[in-house]
Amino acid sequence: MKSGHAWKLNPVVDGKPPEYPFTEVPNPPEGYTWDDVSYVIGGYNWKARFIDKNGFIITGDENATTQYNFANPDVGTEAGWVAYHAGEEKPYNCGPCHTTGYSAWPPDSHQDDMPGIVGTWAEPGIKCERCHGPGSLHAENPHGVAMKVDRDSELCGECHLRGEPEAVNAKGGFIQHHEQYEELFQSKHIVLDCVVCHDPHDGVVQLRKAGEQTTRTQCENCHFEQAKYQKNAKHQDLGVQCIDCHMPRLVKSAVGDPEKFTGDIRTHMMGIDPDQISQFTEDGSQALSQIGLDFACRHCHIPGSSVEMSDEALKEAAYGYHDRP
């Protein structure tokens, strides 16, 4: 398993921090030691949060910074601590998507008898049986009992979903994270299954760090005509890729810079509307169903930079971008 699934929830054993493939959470929040922490939420690539010995997410007082963000060169941020619901009490109720063999029954059940944890589980993290189902019978009789292999996107959508699939929720100038299913719902790619492009056992991050291809299928394998015909040859000379415009970093998990139209996760909406500049509804609570030119273009054509372009210039450049000459 090379994806981040298995490291979504990590136990702290004997006061020792969890170990990750390529990252390290340096310390718990200020005022805590590893002996005070029962689990680390995440810590694989973007951020880490911490659960205390009573099962509550550590939030601290009103001035506390208890979420650790890793450095992100794409956004241009250093590693450091930020607030997470400072001064609030936050039970850990994320078990359905962070664990394997989760159960909310009976209603008053708590993992490890910690009152702050809602429900129980067989294993922390997203392990094999979260997606493939119980495997003991298969292990006893591998040829007689087949494991479940569900390639439907709805299985991924059980967790890569924040609300209703028809709407993409937004906050603070970005799409909120784990909304890939809603994002796909906005485009023609809804007819595809996630596994057409992704191997859930490999993920993306470790492959990218190893310099390997991060998807099973590349855009030009299907969109070969669009890859061939591009109105601006300079983009090709500069090495601009399909995903730079069609999957911009429109999503924020830990860090983002709204002025540079850059979050820390790429969107899965993909379709660009050349008549649309802004990305969100007027109140900023939802993303529009196609990518606007702010995010498609202005993470490179940054306002105030030497390559800044007006709204009208962006629209003119975007119209018919992949038309045959």
Spatial CB neighbours of 197, under 8 Å, sequence gap ≥ 6: 215, 216, 217
User: Average pLDDT of 291-310?
Assistant: 94
Q: Is the pLDDT of residue 294 over 90?
A: yes
Q: Is the pLDDT of residue 165 over 90?
A: no
CA gap 285, 282 in Å, rounded: 8
Q: Is the pLDDT of residue 305 over 90?
A: no
User: Average pLDDT of 106-126?
Assistant: 97
Q: Per-residue confidence at 105, pLDDT binned at 50, 70, 90?
A: very high
CA gap 256, 265 in Å, rounded: 9
Element (H, E) at 182: helix 180-185
Domain boundary among 149, 180, 210: 149
- The answer to whether residues 143 and 170 belong to one domain is no
Residue range 168-182, pLDDT digits in tens: 999 999 999 999 999
Q: State the residue range of the domain holding 225.
A: 155-318
What average pLDDT does the structure give for the chain?
95
When divided into structural domains, the chain yields a total of 2
In angstroms, how far is CA 224 from the centroid of its own chain?
A: 27
Residue 323 in any domain: the answer is no
- The answer to whether residues 33 and 126 belong to one domain is yes
Residue 304 in any domain: the answer is yes
For 246, half-sphere exposure in the C-beta direction (CA atoms, 13 angstrom radius) is: 17
Domain boundary among 114, 149, 184: 149
Q: Per-residue confidence at 45, pLDDT binned at 50, 70, 90?
A: very high
The model carries a pTM of 0.93
Give the end-to-end CA distance of the chain in Å, rounded to a whole number.
45
Q: Is the pLDDT of residue 254 over 90?
A: yes
Residue 299 is predicted with a pLDDT of 95
Q: How many CB atoms lie within 10 A of CB 114?
A: 18
> What strands lie across the sheet with 174-176, from one edge to the other?
251-252, 174-176, 168-171, 286-287
Q: Count of residues for the chain? A: 325
- The answer to whether residues 142 and 162 belong to one domain is no
